Each structure stands twice: as C-alpha cells, then as structure tokens.
Amino acid sequence: MKRPFRSTLLVMTLNEIEGMKLIMPSVRREWVDQILILDGGSTDGTPEWALGQGYEVHVQKEPGFRNGYREVWPKVVGDVVIYFTPDGNSLPEAIPQLLDKMEGGFDLVIASRYLGGARSKDDDLISGFGNGLFRALTNGLLNPRNSVRMTDPLVMLRAHRKDLPQRLGLDQDEPFVALERFFNVRKVDWIPLMSMRALSRGIRWGEIPVDEPARIFGGRKINLFSWGAVYLIQLCMEWKQFRFSGEKRREEFHVAG
C-alpha cells in the first residue's frame, strides 16, 4: 500500500531473543519502509539473531533510552517512526492502524490501552494506579479546557513524525539530566514528556484503541517508582512553564511547526 510518507518501525530490544522469534514473524515487512532494531546491549544473542533474519541492527554504545534514540536517529529513513517491543505487549496488527491514522495529518498517534473498549492485560495494581494518576494529572494540568482527553500518555506503542522530538526539545538534556542524577536513574524515556508537550504546545495528536496483551517474555527493566517520580516532576515543570503563556506558546508552535 502506497503511503504519502516513508515509515520506520523501531524495535526496542534488550535480551529479547525468545520474543523476537515468536513475535517478529507476525510483523509483515511490507507494512513499513524500514525495520530497524535498536538493541540496548543484549547478551542472549538477540542482535545476532536479528542480523541473521535480515534486519538492520544498531547496538547502543551508551545505555539508556535517550542515548539509544540519539545514536540510531541518523539511521532512521522514515518520515514517521513507530516504537515497538517484542515482549508480547505490542500487537503487530496495530502497526498499519497507526500508519492509517497518521495519514490524517497527525504529528503523533498513540495506541491507547484505555480508549474505547481497549484494555491492558499487563497492568498490575501499581502500574494501573500510576497510569491512571498520570493520565488525570496530565490532562488536568496541561489540557484543562479541551473536552478531548489523552487517554494513554505513557504507552510506548505510538507513531510520530521523525522531526517531532527535535521540535519539542526532547533531544536536549535539559528536561532530563538533573532529575536523572537526583533519582540515580539511567537516561529515562522521552515518551511521557512527548505526550505532555503534545498537549501543552498544541501539536496535532490522535489515538486509536489497541489492547495490550500480558508480557510473555522478560520483566520490566525500569524502576517504576524512580522513573514515575521523574515524570511527575517533569509534569509539574511543564505546568508551571505553560500555565500563563500556554495559549500564546501553542499559537507560536503551530506557526513554527
């Protein structure tokens, strides 16, 4: 199917060889223009297996999500990037659905676990509460006048324009580094801040309902409490920055973007 843009599927791996073997055969290569494996330093043969299957692979030199993104971004050929994890959480059939929605002129499309009838089977009591709290605070602080609520600001499965992180300042250390040092965490993901700034700066965003199956391989590789604290403080900083000048900044961003 010919689309008005090129697309890259960015597959995030860290010791995911069993998941790669089970999930990736369901990812049809014709869905996207490029499948690019971003490996965080696996020791179980994940990158070697991926290379053997003909996938393009980049193994990070420095640990952490943002280091990985910055290293791999020059290799991304797509105008649109989709994040995907082969641990069972990400449904392959959501890939063409995200791209279909992007054709509507959006800068960001989120595969929401909480929109309509979609459900997460991976949430436990802690993660479910955290997702709900962050969703309520993000909309309440940064999207108070809009009746359209962002239902899943934290999920990784999403598509966006390749230049969006740069437009939103996510490629800079300033919104992250001091908090990472204070909470002693590695380079945190830019996904939550992307959602915050999508609301506070008025970019064109949308969502589609996508179930999240239970994780079938591996466990969580982050500390929910430390990373959650970073994201909540970032949210407060975003609210403080835009509560008086939000409407003006939205107009300026639309002109610049």
pLDDT at position 123 is 85
Average pLDDT over residues 127-149: 89
The whole-angstrom separation of Cα 114 and Cα 133 is: 13
CB-based contacts of 150: which residues, under 8 Å, 6+ apart? 110, 135, 138, 139, 143, 195, 198, 199, 205, 207
Q: Which class does domain 7-256 fall in?
A: alpha beta
Tally of helices (H runs) and strands (E runs) in the chain: 10, 7
Bridge partner residues of 207 (DSSP) = 110
pLDDT at position 151 is 97
Q: Is the pLDDT of residue 9 over 60?
A: yes
Q: Is the pLDDT of residue 221 over 80?
A: no
Residue 249: count of CB within 10 angstroms of its CB = 16
| Lowest-pLDDT choice from 9-18, 27-36, 245-254 | 245-254
The whole-angstrom separation of Cα 232 and Cα 170 is: 16
